[in-house]
Chains A and B, each alone.
Chain A
Amino acid sequence: MAMQDTEHKTNFDIVGVFLGWILPGLGHLSQGQKRRGYLIMFGALFLICCGVLVGGIDAVDHRNDGLWFIAQVWCGPIVIAIDLLNQSLIAPLPISERATLVGLSHVNEIGTLFIAMAGLMNFVAMLDALQSKGKNDLERRSVELSRGTK
């Protein structure tokens, strides 16, 4: 009975959440869920790369798109680095030179949205990492299912 009670206790893995913010998927990797972690990392980096490719580095801009930045920053230092690049490379330029580097209309919106989606999905992954210390990885589950243990 006492063992069952301890099994039902929720262990909050704060370190996993922090690692998940440092690099998407790293929280799950630190918990031994390698395949799940690599898939989260692939998905988040795919969205970030697509966002920057479509919208340029101007897709992350904490000064002009502050509310979007709140969603984007859940991707961690990658997004902060992109914002720093934007603020140091593009923002100080005169308007005539900035024109070719700043995304306009749909391209800017979609680029910003891609990275915001990556941030929000990584927030969900971080919440999952908070409580999934004892959870099985994808590969283990598939092995168990094929053996008929579950």
Chain B
Amino acid sequence: MLAWIPFLQPMNALQSTWYLLLIPMAFGIAVIYRALREESYTTYWRSVVVLSGQIVFGIAAIAVVLGMFVQFAIPLLSQP
């Protein structure tokens, strides 16, 4: 019997590294969005890579800002 059946059972091995899945998700979104917006196929895949990077770095930046807010700003605000 298989330990893990793909597409039927969830991939529980990724529980600790779930945030890395942001990269393929950003890629998939960028493929569809640039297919709708790009005017020339010659620049299409370059635009996909750029948009994927922008999404990943944008979400990472939001995570850093929110993390700093929770770790530092809220304790400062809650001090008497």
A residues engaging B (CB < 8 A)? 35-36, 39-40, 42-44, 46-47, 50, 52-59, 89, 100-111, 113-114, 117-118, 121-122, 124-125, 128, 138-139, 141-142, 145-146
Contacts and interface: CB of A to CB of B under 8 A. Distances in A.
Nearest to A57: B8
B35 A36 contact: yes
Contacts of A35: 41
A122 to B, nearest CB: 7
A139 to B, nearest CB: 6
B15 A106 contact: yes
A21 to B, nearest CB: 14
Interface of B: 6-12, 14-15, 18, 21, 24-25, 27-29, 31-36, 38-42, 44
Contact of A58 (B6, B10, B29, B35): B10
A50 B11 CA distance: 10
B43 to A, nearest CB: 9
Contacts of B35: 36, 39-40, 43, 125, 138
B47 to A, nearest CB: 11
Contacts of A42: 31
A121 B15 contact: no
A106 B19 CA distance: 9
A42 to B, nearest CB: 6
B28 A141 contact: no
Contacts of B34: 39
A62 to B, nearest CB: 18
23 contacts: A43-B32, A44-B32, A46-B24, A46-B28, A46-B31, A47-B25, A56-B7, A56-B9, A58-B10, A101-B8, A103-B12, A106-B15, A107-B10, A107-B14, A110-B18, A111-B10, A114-B28, A121-B28, A121-B29, A121-B33, A124-B33, A138-B38, A138-B41
